[in-house]
Amino acid sequence: MTIEEVKANIRDIIDFPISGIVFKDLTTAFKNPDCMKFFEDELYRLYKDKGITKVVGIESRGFIMAPVLGNKLGVGFVPIRKKGKLPADVIEISYGKEYGEDIIQIHADSLDENDVVLIHDDLLATGGTMKAACDLVKKFGIKKIYVNFLVELDFLEGRKVFDSEIEVESLIHF
Ligand code: AMP
């Protein structure tokens, strides 16, 4: 499957969740096994030689491909969730959103200083969520962070928020 064919499987939902947003709905791609195979193969090709020891996924759309890739790499999956969802001891970070602030959490025993971590989410918009996730993961003193998205909205220039030592890759660009 080509990138253009995968793009054709991603649906635009106008004015969701609020007026003025064109929401990139990936569920139409996830239900197509050829698109799933494309995502799995491309992610594996990008990260198979990086020494990744954990794949971290961001709630909730990051929970779809992160475990698939972790399995393929033979490493574990770690969730980052919204405040109040994880049952054991957590560390957390708050970050500014367009309206107010949000808090994300990760289990305090989920990573350590020997880890090389890939953090995955479905889509890069402004980058605020992923930047907070990077800052949260850095608190473990880990060796290196890679950042991945299935889709990047280039016109929002979200990748500018990441420090230069973080490698950011997206499979598909709009
Ligand atoms: P941001 O922090 O602005 O990069 O927003 C990223 C998060 O919001 C991701 O988890 C996306 O799933 C979601 N998101 C933001 N904008 C869109 C969009 N236009 N289409 C689909 N998802 C979006």
List the residue whose alpha carbon is closest to atom 18 of ligand 1. Answer: 23
Query: Which tens digit of pLDDT belongs to each residue from 102-122?
Result: 999 999 999 999 999 999 999
Ligand 1 contact via 124 beta carbon (within 6 Å): yes
Question: Is residue 154, in this structure, part of any structural domain at all?
Answer: yes
Q: Is the CB of 79 under 6 A from ligand 1?
A: no
CATH number at residue 120: 3.40.50.2020
User: pLDDT of 118-166, one tens digit each?
Assistant: 999 999 999 999 999 999 999 999 999 999 999 999 999 999 999 999 9
Q: Please name which of 113, 103, 155 lies closest in space to residue 138, comparing C-alpha atoms.
A: 113
Catalytic, 61? Answer yes
Q: From start to end of 74-129, where are the E strands?
A: 76-82, 90-96, 101-107, 116-124
Residue 6 maps to a domain: no
Q: Does some domain include residue 159?
A: yes
Residue 110 falls inside a structural domain: yes
Structural domain tally of the chain?
Answer: 1
Residue 16's alpha-carbon distances to 23, 50, 119, 153, 154, in angstroms, are 6, 36, 25, 16, 19
In a domain, 53, yes or no: yes
Q: What's the domain range around 108?
A: 49-173
Report the 10 Å Cβ neighbour count for 132. 22
Is 59 catalytic? The answer is: no
Query: Per the domain annotation, does 38 fall within a domain?
Result: no
* Residue 100 located in a structural domain: yes
Taking the model in full, what pTM does it have?
0.97
For the stretch 73-89, pLDDT in tens is 999 999 999 999 999 99
- Whether residue 160 is contained in a domain is answered as yes
